[in-house]
Structure 1
Amino acid sequence: MSDPYQSKNQSVLSSGPSLKIGVSQDGIYRIRYEDLVSQGLLNQAEPSSRINLYGNKAGMLPFFNTPDIPDDLSPLPILMQDGGDGMFGPGDYFLFFGQSPHVWTYDSSYGFLHQTNYYSDTTYYFVSAHSESAIRVGSTSNASQSDLRISTSIEHVHHESDLSNICNGSVHWMGERFSSSGQSQTVTLSTPNPANTHRNNAKILIQTAAQTNNGTASFTIDAAGTSMKISHTRATGSNESSLCTDMQSIQRELSVSSSQLPLSFSFQKSQAAGNGFIDFISLSYERQLSVQNQALFFRNPEALNRKASFSLQAGEGLIVWDITNVYHIQEFPLTRNGNSYSFTAPADSILHEYAAFYPNNAQSPSFAGLQSAQNLHGAANIDYILVTHPVFLEYAKQIADMHRERNGYSVLVATTDQVYNEFSSGSKDPSAIRMLAKHLWDKSDSLHRPRYLLLFGAASYDYKGTLGQLTDFVPTFESFFNLQEGGGTPVEDNFAYLEDLEGFSPAESNGRGSMDIAVGRLPVRNSSDAEAVVEKIDIYSHPEYLYDSRNPNLPGNFGDWRNEIAFVSDDGFESRLETSILRNDWPSTMIPEFHVNKLYSDAYERTTSSTSNRVPGLESNIRTSIEEGSLFIGYYGHSGWDAWSDERILSIDIINQLNESYSFPIMSSSSCTFGYFDYINRPSAAELLVLRPHSGAIAILTTTRTANTGSIEDIIQAFVQKLTDKSSGKVSTIGDAYLYGKKHHASAVYKFVLLGDPGLKAAIPQYTVQTLRINGQDIASSEPDTLKALSPITIEGIITDNQGQLLDNFNGTLITKIYDKKTTETTLGNYNPQDRRQNEKVSYQTQNSLLFQGYSEVEDGRFSVSFIVPKDIQYNYGNGKIEYYAYSNTTDANGCFEDIVVGGFNSEAILDTMPPVVDLYINKNNYITGTVGESPYLYAEISDHFGINTTGTGIGHNMTLVIDEDFSNPIVVNNLFRYNPGSYTEGTLSYPLNLERGEHTAQLKVWNINNISTTESITFRIGESDEPEIFEIRAVPNPARNDYVDIYFNHNGYGGGIERCEVNIFNLQGLRVTRFDYEVGDISGYSIGPIRWDMTRSNGGGLQSGMYIAHIRAHHADGSISHKTVKIIIVR
């Protein structure tokens, strides 16, 4: 017999197709030759020796990595009935013992204990016709005569109806519900052939639950004359406004004397609110060893450590198997005396289980279909494991291919069915996924072990589809240690506990072990979700997508958004890390090369209504951080499953309205329940951020339930530190940083999960930008010039690797941002309605005053940047900051320089008296005033001899946009201005116009660095759609007296421009007098003409005086067509 626990490198399923069969209860099952033919496994008779059954002992896999977990399917013994010819053919069959997925164990102190399988109601087996080493039911001999004679069995009966999950997230389901006081229900247990050997021949265990609200409840139970009562009180210390669950049990001895035991339950409660539930009923009673039609499974603890002679009442043809060890089943020879059959079993310290049955009464299993050959056991040296539900397999393969091609990973893609088949005998069990990872971990050396596990599919607490539909695609590990709503917690960490004896029990509040691999989940529920996340991963990881902030519709990976990090905090500041960020400013100290945006709720004005409190300014800034791009956005504070903070500063409504963007941030939520990903058909806000197509987050680290955020905050700090660390010369993956944070702060953080691809490399600039000289002075040997107002500055520098060596093959673009000194801000101390007090006023520092932002070329790893310091600076002296971001076609770099003094005034400055020049357009710089389609944008070309002021520090010197003369609400657009590459005198601005149809005006006011302004306006009309449109058509001269007339018109630019015009001239009777074509040379413009007509017919003849209609049919580049007519009067 093979050892089921020995590690294997090849699955038994690799040899060829197999037939998957299922059973739902203990029984002796028959499979006929005809069954295997109809299911497609056989098409002709085969040697009986090749027919084999594979599986393992029933029940859930152990929650811990114990040595008794089978590594693969094991051969199981069968009783072959082939007529003795050695061939399995027509009329032949075999028998096997099939187990219920719900198992019983015996404990000498507690008796028989039932364990419901949380994940599956079916045990599966596999029939193969490819084995030459099939095993069969063995035979054993009777032990010598025994004085202990047994004619009864301890039968066990269990009732448990999983009807509702009152936690909305737990492995623990409840059965029959009682909603009103005085309500009664009866549960009847089947108790055939009770042995009336003594009065109390049975033990019963009943467990009930009650939800109460500062009240009490109770169940009164009558069991065949035995009365019991279970009392419930409200859970201690729970919220008085909510229903809380109390679970109690009772155990009694009673008498069972008939084939049925009715149990009558009556529920009472002291308050109107609340419900009662039957959790389970377990009964053990003494049963006569009498075999009827169905197989009898029996055992008796009296036989422990003693030889025992068992006597059964049965008919002709009885067979008895010892089924204690399912891998080694043996048949006992029977001694018959009339209708009594007996056998003698040897003494053993293990309680043995037996099956007595008639072969002709064997049951038929269910058939789950032919399974293709598979061999996950044969995989080796795997970096990245991707487990997907079969419906998402094609999308999972795309992710795998991306990782192979772009990261060089060795990737194993496995469907959940494949994993279950090899590691949990075909039954659904999340531990099978862990065992796959452990198998690959154990067989590899330390340099080739798996690093990442991606679970590709949504999970829910409804493992079995009890609520009627598939919501659990790739399961998680649910717990049940708390029965309040959301008290059960999905524990993804358990997939990463790969060392021996590590694991997580649903009954515990924390795992035993340390995470060995990074685990992430993409909670896709349908093909649209899957397609969206695959496309986001493709864009995020693709090195050839270039980002252009002036063209936000271009898919982007590279861009200065990779230099942006935002920290968002709720008001109240009750957490350690909020205080740390505010007062100690660790992000700016730890990662100075990144620009840190501090978005603190109490720093914004709050609006209050009768129904809600909102912080609109913060909402807008969070949305901007997501849409315009940030490397990382972290939140600290309160949250629910659908929003950050009581003020809902980031909610599902906002997420669903996010504009399309291609610079997806990594996000974190150090809060409660924001990532409640296992709820039935209610995606959490965290999930929607990841699943949002073309927008939202690329990944989010988030809590699944109410949590103590202190440890989570430590994880976030460690995560950011690891994520941004480039000292190794390699870019960290999201999973590496997540695992680093988890392993270094492992206490009570199982509620913190990664929704995202753990193997995805973060959008961290790989290389470093270094400053060499400022105004010709080497910064390494001398103090650089002070940046004084109106002083000309030239900065020179290089791009280096992590060793500081010049990258002379780096050619691309550098974005340089110069910031003024840090400023001290103070929160407002808004009234906090939750705490019924004013928030504490807290001071913190920011460095957001932008003096200059410019683009310049990097050639052979070297660059030079020139500009003039604006007049609007803080004139006191202090350290400013230079931030760099550079990108080429294939890679990028960032860096900073903080030892630069800003302050004072350049007394030798040439004072400018000329205002800047502003040219306004709609959509393009060749726009002709008129109608545009919906969703246009304002485009401005701006220039000045000395530079444009975008600092935002001078009072009244912001660059502002006024729409439709609404001068009381000017829009500050400093951050939208971009200098042209290599210039500090010319640049552009783009602003999307989300306006209703009709006529509008836009007025832009611009200041130069000498604080001289100019204002320009434009008038335009928004049409009904983005469809091509012709307008302002005219004929010149009109009336026409000469030999020709010229036709001109404008169009809105949609449809890719006009390539050709078809001109038809009609008289007033509707008859066409001529037709001709006009080819457009430059299709990029908005104005067409002159289209000259010589005022003749098609045959060249002249036309009489009168009115004619010219019909223009314009053909656009995208194939669309637009029309317009103009009247022409001819005077002869």
Structure 2
Amino acid sequence: MYRTNHRPFSLPQPCILRVGRVLRQWGLASFMVGMSAGLVAQFDYVWPDHSALAEGEWYRIATTKTGFHKVDVALLSALGLDPNTVDPARVNLYGHGGDALPVDNAAPRPLDLVPVPIDMVDDGDGQFDGSDHFVFMGDGPEEWHYDAAVQRWQHRLNPWSDTAWYFLRVDDPDPIRIAQEPALGGDVDTVLGVTDFHQFHELEQSTIIRSGRNFYGEVFDQNPTHTIPFQVPDVLPEPARLEIRLMGRSVGAASPYNVVLGDSSWTILPPVTGSQTYVSQARVGAGDWEWTPSSDLVQVGLTLNAQVADAKGWLDYVRISGTREANMSGGSQQEFVRATEAAPGRMVEWAVSSASSVQRVWDVTDAQNPTAIPFDIVNGTLRFRVEYSDIRTFRAGNGSGFYTPTPVGPVQNTDIHGLPQVELVIVTPPGLRPAADSLAAIHAAEGLSTAVLEPSFIYDCFSAGRVDPTAIKMLMKMLYDRAEGNPTAAPKYLQLFGDGTFENRNLPRFENALITFQSAQSHTPTQSYVTDDYFGFLSDGASERLTDTLHIGIGRIPASTLDEAWDAVAKVVAYSSGNPDPDGAACLQGGLPGEGEGNPFGPWRNRICFVADDFDGNGGATETGHTLYSIGHANGVEEDHGAFDIQRIFMDAYPQVATPGGERYPEVEEAIDRQVRDGALLINYIGHGGERGWAHERVLNTSTIGAWDNLDRMPLFFTATCELARFDDPDLETAGEMMVMNPKGGAIAMMTTTRVVYSYANEQLNSAFFAVVFDAPAGERQRLGDILRRTKNHPAAGASSNKRNFTLLGDVALEFATPQAEVRTSEVNALPIDAVADTLSALEYVEVKGYVADAAGNPMTDFNGFVYPTVYDQRSEVTTLNNDGGNGGVPYSEWRNRIYTGAVRAEEGVFSFDFIVPRDIAYAPARGRISYYAVDGERDAHGYTEDLFIGGVSEDAVLDNVGPDIELYLNDTSFVNGGTTDPNPVLFARLRDDQGLNTVGNGIGHDLKATLDGGTSVVLNEFYASDLDTYQSGRVVYPFRDLEEGPHTLELKAWDVHNNSAKASLDFVVVSDLNVFLDNVINYPNPVGSQGTTFRFDHNQACVDLGLELHIYDSRGTVVWHGERNETPAGYRVDGWNWSGESNQGAALGQGTYLYRLDVRTPEGRQASQTGRLVLLH
């Protein structure tokens, strides 16, 4: 009886234990156990203090074969060793074969490199020279076991690696040599002159759905027939077994596979495959037959008899087993086993013919711990006696014909087991190591203990060099176990810093890819998955079950190059500390006080956006569910975390447009793009999607993602959609990967999908996410890994494979930028906020006072910064448009109309602001809202109140019939009417009115609106913000995108709170920014006097790092002055380059006419030049 977590259980199948290891040959002749599904023996993890590789001189060799291997002088030389310096008495070999590590934590496994006994042959001179060599039992990537229940040999290939690695230490003080078993006398129960044979053919070279860890071999399509040959020396004409497994795809009608072996034939008929995209893309077809061999050559023929045009098949394996003579004639090393002869107390003698050259007989039942068997050779027959109570496998070998391992080279000393307890482990390939070290340093400065490890070191320690995901899990389990339940000592985060691929066996060809854990299911898109969760299942009883829980947070940065890795680190810095290169990111005028200049803070941290798909996907309740789920989550956040401002972009609430390419939502596309550029703490999307973007209407695509430049306001995304970030497909750059790897912004991180997912299961995980994402201890921030772990472990998340399809892309240890302090309202119009709620009426002057408090509610008298209040009119009731019919519109409400948006100073934690309520409010009294965001240096806060009412008209309104003043520019105030722009100019307007501007949006025709060329109009209410400490002036910043080349006219119409209007217009010319365009290149004054002159020019390269060069020539063409400078202009004019009128050496130049040439270059090498004349008077 074994125990797991102190509960007794029965072995699921019989096994043999020897020296603490489970032998490969499972099954006993007479042994009864109870059956208890899903449980395995509890393995006792006793982690070594230090790794075997921590000291000594080591070299690596490799093999793909199972059997006797020989290491000689030539091989040592190939390793770079001088064999004469190697003492054979100190040579030791380590490893543990080519099998995959068990995924079940409870299953026994080596915890470090294990010594492999060797048979050393040397002349005793202390040098590895001449004919000195040693022999060892190498164990390849295949595993055989005997299933006693069906009396059949079965095999399993390592799904992760095709190579076994061994480690040669040449200075070991305690080397291990092959042990000799004692000779046995007495009577024998039987003499064995026959042996089992078992062979298989299985190629791992093709995949059905580019997912899962099962690969397949021969493909049946253009070539419908394949022949698989086997050579079985001395096969006996006795009943043998043929087993075949394949995968077949045949839609509409079943397509049989004809199997021919000698005179026998059979049929495999896989079930019919469905035609839907997400059903099983192939069905299992298998056969198991008895046949009688008639020759040593066994040829199995398979032919697809296609019944439909697109029928296709993939061969998994062909396996044969039976009986042959115990004979050495078939090769220089042979294996002998007879499973059916094993019985308690049984003594057998093997009699192997044609064996006169045999030099070794080893018991290789446990290939890791073979023993030498005494033997005799009499008249060419090899004889040896053994106890055969259990199934035992023996290998005999002649003096030649050993396998030669592949020399690899020296091995670096590493002590993974000696690693101290750390909170953050970063695993990264060598090519990305510099960036990973930088990320570790960032988090170490925050107080996290960190370690950066390359995967090869982890594999060397835990999987004997084999690529195996369980090695990384064992690393984390070691740290977890050593903490002994102490949460302060336990590991918290695993950062996988590198891209991944589903082709784990081909990992070396992907330079900077890390291994991925793939599901066993490999042919059904909705059930096959890739997950990094596996590395965090650390309890003793965990495995890969859907019910296993995460003990650490895990994230992946899918960088493929070092440049991408550095960009990812730069994004972490920008999010946490500020944009390291603020000039390019914040070059436009119009930002709020306290924003820009690389500052990571801003009101964007108080915004949460919910995006919902419409109803036109696959029909049914799930289509409406996209919107209903989003409404539920948005309302839940408003109820539980009311300080956040909620933005709703529900596709069905916008007009749908029919185009030749299908239905589209241009306003939704713009709204999503604008939301990302303006910034949000979190963007949540529910709906259809795929590798190229969101929704059938393509509301988000890779072109849009690639153009994002929001480095100083990057959202966290949660996307409940299909396979948006299939990061493990090396031939595809998905939309999700682009979002998180965009070097100019995009997403700071994503909880997103890697495979096809289901709507309801998505909703379960999304609900779990919102249950934890803002549920942090007061005054603390959660790291993204904590959010991931708590989300997936939450009871609401369910236990389906669906949640395994969600992964965290980004920095796992990044602190989620939720505001920590509180902003509270103390008074409205001199009335305490906790008194009877005041009613704010149209045209009423209002003054609001408040203060900033810590998480415990204590005023923060040291808070000196800015507060950004937004005052909302009553909630708006909205019903979606039911664009696709059949479901009816969906009603919802939101805080939509803004009475006032501004910025005020906070001094010693207190602030006040005032405004006049616009005439266009809703008049029937109902609750309004004030929300706040505040920032002071490196601290921020948020808050809200809904303890006020909006409605009615003030009796004390001031008469006013004068509209606002408007100043209109493009990009910045240097723009002049008629100037030149690129296709993406930014409207920058200054507005002023003594009574304030009307942006509430309730009055028909009273919107703040921009009109381009007399046609397209854009409502700009939400783009207006008051200037610091005043409601009487403010600005509008609105980006236009992709304007056509040529002349344009822009008109802006604005209204004050009394509904007086004013207009302003501006003419401009759009020139493509693919080429540099220069215009109005002048110097002033000209002629040039003693005060010098200033150069100015217009261009079409706003917010681009420009290299400027100016040459001035005399009448002979000689350069008399040369200057260079760099500019990142916010607008379309560069001004202020002064020249004194002297040479570069400071000498005065003579009077006369001079020529000048201005050269302008972009970082991409585009350039333009213009020349001009100036007259020098002195």
Question: Structure 2-normalised TM-score?
Answer: 0.86
Report the alpha carbon displacement of residue 126 of structure 1 after superposing the two structures with TM.
Answer: 0.7
Contact 1:18 1:41 in 2 (8 A): no
Report the alpha carbon displacement of residue 519 of structure 1 after superposing the two structures with TM.
Answer: 1.8
The match for 1:410 is 449
Report the alpha carbon displacement of residue 706 of structure 1 after superposing the two structures with TM.
Answer: 2.8
1:62 maps to which of 85, 102, 108? 102
For 1:902, what is the secondary structure of its paired residue? strand
The match for 2:998 is 949
For 1:217, what is the secondary structure of its paired residue? coil
Q: State how far apart, in whole Å, the 2-side matches of 1:933 and 1:926 are.
A: 12
Q: Does 1:747 align with 2:782?
A: no
Q: State how far apart, in whole Å, the 1-side matches of 2:697 and 2:890 are.
A: 20
The answer to which of 150-159 and 633-642 deviates more is 633-642
Q: Does 1:202 align with 2:240?
A: yes
Q: State how far apart, in whole Å, the 2-side matches of 1:1102 and 1:527 are.
A: 54
The match for 1:716 is 766
Q: State how far apart, in whole Å, the 1-side matches of 2:526 and 2:444 are.
A: 38
The match for 2:604 is 561
1:844 maps to which of 884, 892, 903? 892
Deviation string for 1:1095-1117 (max 9, x for gaps)?
xxx999999xxxx9653456999
For 1:786, what is the secondary structure of its paired residue? strand
2:1097 maps to which of 1051, 1057, 1061? 1051
Contact 1:722 1:732 in 2 (8 A): no
Report the alpha carbon displacement of residue 606 of structure 1 after superposing the two structures with TM.
Answer: 1.0
Report the alpha carbon displacement of residue 343 of structure 1 after superposing the two structures with TM.
Answer: 0.9
Compared with structure 1, are the counterparts of its residues 1049 and 285 closer, same or farther at alpha carbon in structure 2 (3 Å cutoff)? closer
For 1:252, what is the secondary structure of its paired residue? strand
1:228 maps to which of 259, 266, 269? 266
The match for 2:729 is 679
The match for 2:158 is 117
The match for 1:701 is 751
Q: State how far apart, in whole Å, the 2-side matches of 1:17 and 1:324 are.
A: 30
Q: State how far apart, in whole Å, the 1-side matches of 2:267 and 2:1122 are.
A: 96
The match for 1:1111 is 1155
The match for 1:507 is none
Q: State how far apart, in whole Å, the 1-side matches of 2:1020 and 2:929 are.
A: 22
Q: State how far apart, in whole Å, the 1-side matches of 2:442 and 2:199 are.
A: 53
Contact 1:211 1:244 in 2 (8 A): yes
Alignment of 1:858-1007 (within 5 A): 858-929=906-977, 931-932=979-980, 934=982, 936-963=985-1012, 966-994=1013-1041, 995-996=1043-1044, 998-1007=1046-1055
The match for 1:440 is 479
Q: State how far apart, in whole Å, the 1-side matches of 2:721 and 2:46 are.
A: 44
Compared with structure 1, are the counterparts of its residues 6 and 259 closer, same or farther at alpha carbon in structure 2 (3 Å cutoff)? farther
Contact 1:830 1:839 in 2 (8 A): no
The match for 1:263 is 300
Structure 1, unpaired ranges of 5+: 505-509, 832-836
Alignment of 1:183-194 (within 5 A): 183-194=224-235
Report the alpha carbon displacement of residue 866 of structure 1 after superposing the two structures with TM.
Answer: 2.1
The match for 1:658 is 708
The match for 1:1017 is 1065
Alignment of 1:380-395 (within 5 A): 380-395=420-435
Report the alpha carbon displacement of residue 165 of structure 1 after superposing the two structures with TM.
Answer: 0.5
Q: State how far apart, in whole Å, the 2-side matches of 1:212 and 1:71 are.
A: 46
The match for 1:214 is 252
For 1:438, what is the secondary structure of its paired residue? helix
1:134 maps to which of 161, 171, 175? 175
Report the alpha carbon displacement of residue 908 of structure 1 after superposing the two structures with TM.
Answer: 0.6
For 2:740, what is the secondary structure of its paired residue? helix
The match for 2:618 is none
Question: Structure 1-normalised TM-score?
Answer: 0.90
Give the letter aligned to residue 979 of structure 1: S
Report the alpha carbon displacement of residue 949 of structure 1 after superposing the two structures with TM.
Answer: 1.7
Contact 1:1035 1:1045 in 2 (8 A): no
The match for 1:689 is 739
Contact 1:1109 1:1128 in 2 (8 A): yes
Contact 1:390 1:417 in 2 (8 A): no
Deviation string for 1:989-1042 (max 9, x for gaps)?
33345545554433222222222222222334456758694627599999x9xx
Q: State how far apart, in whole Å, the 1-side matches of 2:873 and 2:297 are.
A: 86
Report the alpha carbon displacement of residue 91 of structure 1 after superposing the two structures with TM.
Answer: 4.2
Compared with structure 1, are the counterparts of its residues 64 and 512 closer, same or farther at alpha carbon in structure 2 (3 Å cutoff)? farther
Contact 1:876 1:903 in 2 (8 A): yes
Report the alpha carbon displacement of residue 399 of structure 1 after superposing the two structures with TM.
Answer: 1.7
Report the alpha carbon displacement of residue 73 of structure 1 after superposing the two structures with TM.
Answer: 0.9
Compared with structure 1, are the counterparts of its residues 278 and 1128 closer, same or farther at alpha carbon in structure 2 (3 Å cutoff)? closer
Q: State how far apart, in whole Å, the 1-side matches of 2:132 and 2:718 are.
A: 62
Q: State how far apart, in whole Å, the 2-side matches of 1:240 and 1:926 are.
A: 56
For 2:643, what is the secondary structure of its paired residue? coil
Report the alpha carbon displacement of residue 461 of structure 1 after superposing the two structures with TM.
Answer: 2.0
Report the alpha carbon displacement of residue 14 of structure 1 after superposing the two structures with TM.
Answer: 0.9
Contact 2:499 2:558 in 1 (8 A): yes
Give the letter aligned to residue 754 of structure 1: L
For 1:318, what is the secondary structure of its paired residue? strand
Alignment of 1:344-383 (within 5 A): 344-349=385-390, 351-383=391-423
Contact 2:1159 2:1170 in 1 (8 A): no
Report the alpha carbon displacement of residue 683 of structure 1 after superposing the two structures with TM.
Answer: 2.7
Give the letter aligned to residue 153 of structure 2: F
Q: State how far apart, in whole Å, the 1-side matches of 2:844 and 2:267 are.
A: 89
2:856 maps to which of 803, 807, 816? 803
Aligned-CA RMSD value = 3.7
Q: Does 1:463 align with 2:504?
A: yes
2:314 maps to which of 268, 272, 277? 277
Report the alpha carbon displacement of residue 933 of structure 1 after superposing the two structures with TM.
Answer: 5.4
Report the alpha carbon displacement of residue 522 of structure 1 after superposing the two structures with TM.
Answer: 2.0
The match for 2:841 is 788
The match for 1:155 is 197
The match for 1:526 is 561
Q: State how far apart, in whole Å, the 2-side matches of 1:1059 and 1:284 are.
A: 79
Q: Does 1:295 align with 2:333?
A: yes
Contact 1:959 1:1004 in 2 (8 A): yes
Give the letter aligned to residue 1052 of structure 1: D
Q: State how far apart, in whole Å, the 1-side matches of 2:1092 and 2:457 are.
A: 74
Compared with structure 1, are the counterparts of its residues 848 and 736 closer, same or farther at alpha carbon in structure 2 (3 Å cutoff)? same
Deviation string for 1:188-243 (max 9, x for gaps)?
1121221x3xx4342111122221111111112111222211123304x6639988
Deviation string for 1:441-473 (max 9, x for gaps)?
11113221111112222222212229x953892
Contact 2:676 2:710 in 1 (8 A): no
Report the alpha carbon displacement of residue 861 of structure 1 after superposing the two structures with TM.
Answer: 2.1
Q: State how far apart, in whole Å, the 2-side matches of 1:472 and 1:1079 are.
A: 40
Q: Does 1:586 align with 2:626?
A: no
The match for 1:332 is 373
Contact 1:883 1:895 in 2 (8 A): yes
1:535 maps to which of 560, 570, 575? 570
Report the alpha carbon displacement of residue 13 of structure 1 after superposing the two structures with TM.
Answer: 0.8
The answer to which of 937-946 and 416-425 deviates more is 937-946
Give the letter aligned to residue 519 of structure 1: I
Contact 2:578 2:598 in 1 (8 A): no
2:67 maps to which of 8, 27, 31? 27
Q: State how far apart, in whole Å, the 2-side matches of 1:1071 and 1:540 are.
A: 52
The match for 2:867 is 814
Contact 1:568 1:633 in 2 (8 A): yes
Give the letter aligned to residue 54 of structure 2: S
Q: Does 1:341 align with 2:402?
A: no
